Every structure is written in C-alpha cells, then in structure tokens.
Amino acid sequence: MAVVAALAVGHLVAGILVAPSASPYLAVGNAAIDRTPNAVKDFAIAQFGTSDKLVLLLGMAVVIALVAVVAGLVSRRRTLPGLIVIVVLGVVGILAVLEQAGGGVLALLAPVASLLAGAGVFWWLHRLAVRRAARQAAAVTEDSPRQPQDWRLRIHGMVERELTLSWDDLRSMRSVERPVTMTCVSNEVGGPYISTAHFTGVMLADILDAAGVRNGADQIVTTSVDGWTCGTPTETVSDPGREAMLAYAMNREPLPVEHGFPVRMIVPGLYGFVSATKWITDMKLTTFAEDRAYWLQRDWGQRAPIKTMSRIDSPGSFEQVAADRVTLAGIRVAQTVGIERVEVRLDGGQSTGGQWTPAELSTEVNIDTWRMWRMGVPGLRPGPHTADVRATDKSGYTQTPERVLSIPDGATGWHSIRFTVQ
C-alpha cells in the first residue's frame, strides 16, 4: 500500500503541477526503453505492436509489486528494511526524472513527493499493524527465584533511604486483600483481555513511605526479572484510596508462575503496561523526563488510566435466540470511579425513537472491579437484530461512540452485536 501511495502521489503531482514526463513511474519506464537493446525493442514491437510500452509499464508494475511484497514481509518486525526499499525506489525515480524531464527544482517535485508519501504511509501502516499474539511459553526465566525466600526487591533512585526487601520483610508488613479487575491495553472494544481476581499483598504506599520519596519523583520505574521495564505515575501509586500493592497471592493461593510468582505489582485503574510488573525485582524512583520505560519507547501512552467500558457477553454475536428467551447481559468497568448506569439500544433505536433503555446492575463489590448487567427483551419480532451498549460512570462521563484503536492508551467505542430471534 505504501508503494501504491507513492506511485499515485508522484503521478498525480506530475500530471497537475509539472508534466507527465515528470512522473517517476513513466520516467523510469522511458529510461528503461532508452537502455533496451535494439533487438529487444524490435522483438517487443513485433510481438505487441503499439502496445509495447503498455506491456513494459505493466511488467514494471508486477516487478514493483513483488519487491513491495518482499519488503513488507521482511519489515514485519522492523521498519528499516521497508524504508530502505522505498528510499532506493525513490532515488531511482528522481534520477530517471532528472534524465527524462530535465533538471530544475520543479521537475523534482513529483519524485520527491512520491518518496515522502511512500515513506510516510509505510511508517503509518507499520505503526497501526496488529502484532500476532505470541504463543504461550514458560513464564519463568533462568534466573527467576525458585523459592520465595530467594526473592529480593531493590528500591532506589530519588529516595531518602535505599532499601532491599526480602520475602520475609514483605510478609512482615501490613497486608491487604482486595478483588481487582485487570485490563490489558490491547483489549479492543468488546474484547476478552479483561478479568478479575482476588489479590493479597502489601500496600505500595507503605513501602514508599519507608523509603522516603524525594520531591520531584513523578515516576516509578519497575523492572522484571527478565529486564522488562514499566513506568507508573508516583502520585497514583501513593494514593491510599487506590490500594496499589505488591501482591504475593492470587485467589488466596500463591501467585501462579504465569501471573508473576513470587511477587508482582497491582495498581487498580491503570492498564497493565504501565502498572502490572510481574516477577518484580527492582523499583526506581525517577522522573518521566529522565527514564522511558519499555512501552513508552514504542510510542504507547505515559499514564494510561483504564477507560470506562461496557461489553455484551450474551447473546453472542450472530447467535440465534428463542423469542421467549432474549436476555442481554454483560460486564462494565469504571475503575476508581464506579458505574452509575448501563444502557442498551436495540436496532439503532428505530423502535424507541433513538432512546436508550437502562439495564439492571449487579451489586457493586468495589469500584475497582467489574459489575454485571442484564436486560430482558420480551416481544422481539423474529429476524435479525442489533444491540449497542454504553456505560456512564459516577463522574458523569458516558462512553463515546467514537471507535479508537488501543494504541496509545486504550480503545474506545460502543460494543455492538448482531443476533437473530427465531
């Protein structure tokens, strides 16, 4: 697509602002014809007649397409190979235009615009590309502690007292137990990357008080045993109402290895990439200006609070439902704020004048866990239907209908499904 954009922009700019001969695509074709041996030219004319140039241009298109496909395949992980190919093709186009259309700044307008368009579109597409999910692998790295007693946590940086906590030190501190809903920032609208568990651990605010945080330390950079880093706002972790913790138990059992054994970080209300360090071994008090954690280096958000969301779990999308059993149900989350209401709209509001219908809410466990909702829908006519859901939190914010991708700090939009009443 980047190469197509480059060719289209070059051709368009040449045709509108300069001259057809300044099109990089046509200039390269003409340059190729000039360098073709006479015997080959004669053969092409004999075979294709007056269509010989058209055949050449089509052949060029095929070759460029193949080069673009190969460049795309080798650029799945890094942008550099693809950018190199685009730059090389762009330079060839510039040289061909200089030869075919003559010198001058105006003649270079089309090939330069083509090069910039190709590079820009390629970078944009590469940034939006969805990475293939990795296969689940063993969660323990070679130097992970085999026993909880082997675990250590170093706390340093902008602190009054550098500390090294052992497992026994951690377990001797005041503990808290709390159910918390955790959400991955990669969770798309209506996605599955969200769940709730009961965590037991030590308040991070107590640990920070013991170390003494210096003024100006607005970020806590935590490091996993495998070197992965996570940047979390200090003010969020220090908020006693947030109950951020270093957790050592999950559902009243020792943390499973895949969930961070022996100790992990939990910060309600923040997406995991800025809060949920597993296998934690290091905690540095610093600033956002000084240190850039793993995902911040890759253009993801800096603070990333979890957005108010709602989801329809039943019926499933495209499910067939008996007319007397139509009940819509799902979950909604508004961490650190709480849910005020959930509303459902059927068939785009055609039968209700665009109005939304409030759903029934389950009892709230706490403001950091999801809540269930449901709504019975009697009397739906047989046939296809749609349902949309939106949530309003206790701050008065209602979910926006605007669909936004996960990058850089979480997806937005109403979750919608289609189902059929039998």
Closest listed residue to residue 263, CA positions, set 352, 369, 119, 151: 151
- Bridge partners (DSSP) of residue 344 are 357, 389
The answer on 336 and 293 residing in a single domain is: no
Amino acid at site 319? E
CATH number of the CATH domain containing 188: 3.90.420.10
How many domains is the chain partitioned into structurally? 3
Sign of CA dihedral 235, 236, 242, 244: negative
pLDDT score of 87: 81
Q: Which of 173, 161, 165, 267 is nearest to 220 (CA)?
A: 267
In this predicted structure, what is the pLDDT of residue 201? 98
Secondary-structure breakdown of the chain: helix, strand, coil percentages, each rounded to the nearest 5: 35, 25, 35
Q: Is residue 363 part of a domain?
A: yes
Q: What is the DSSP string of 183-205?
A: E-TT--TT-S-EEEEEEEEEEHH
Whether residues 160 and 286 share a domain: the answer is: yes
| Same domain? 284 vs 320 | no
Structural domain boundaries enclosing 377: 309-421
Residue 158 backbone phi and psi in degrees, to 5:
-85, 65
Residue 140 belongs to a domain: no
Q: Name the DSSP class of 412.
A: B
294 and 154, same structural domain? Answer: yes
354 against 312, higher pLDDT: 312
Same domain for 102 and 155: no
pLDDT of residue 132: 54
Q: List the beta bridge partners of residue 233.
A: 219
Q: Are residues 313 and 388 in the same domain?
A: yes
Q: 292 and 162 in one domain?
A: yes
Last residue of a domain, one of 275, 298, 321: 298
Closest among 349, 348, 373, 352 to 363, alpha carbons compared: 373
Whole-number Å distance between alpha carbons of 390 and 340: 11
Same domain assignment for residues 154 and 70:
no
Strand order from edge to edge, sheet including 280-286: 163-166, 152-157, 280-286, 219-224, 229-233
Q: With respect to residue 121, please indicate whether it lies within any of the assigned structural domains.
A: yes
Per-residue pLDDT at 337 exceeds 60? yes
Is 343's pLDDT higher than 80?
Answer: yes
Express each pLDDT in 142-151 by its tens digit.
455 678 999 9
133 located within any domain: no
Confidence of residue 12 (pLDDT cuts 50, 70, 90): confident
Last residue of a domain, one of 298, 320, 343: 298
Residue 247 bridge partners (DSSP): 201, 264
Q: What are the pLDDT digits (tens) for 23-65?
A: 776 677 677 766 767 666 556 656 666 565 576 667 767 777 7
Least confident of 345-354, 385-394, 409-418: 345-354
In a domain, 138, yes or no: no
pLDDT of the residue at 77: 66
Confidence of residue 131 (pLDDT cuts 50, 70, 90): low
How large a percentage of the chain has pLDDT more than 70? 79
Which structure tokens are listed for 256? 């499973």
For residue 136, being part of any structural domain is answered with: no
Does the structure show a pLDDT above 90 at 385? yes
Residue 118 lies in a domain: yes
CA atoms within 13 A on the CB side of 181: 27
Which pLDDT score is estimated for 415?
97
pTM beyond 0.75: no
Residue 27 φ then ψ, to 5°: -65, -40
Question: Are 174 and 215 in a shared domain?
Answer: yes
Domain check: are 34 and 175 in the same one? no
On whether both 24 and 92 belong to a single domain, the answer is yes
Please give the radius of gyration of the chain, using alpha carbons only, rounded to the nearest integer. 29
Give the tens place of pLDDT for each residue, 205-242.
999 999 999 999 999 999 999 999 999 999 999 998 88
Is 90 exceeded by the pLDDT of residue 266?
A: yes
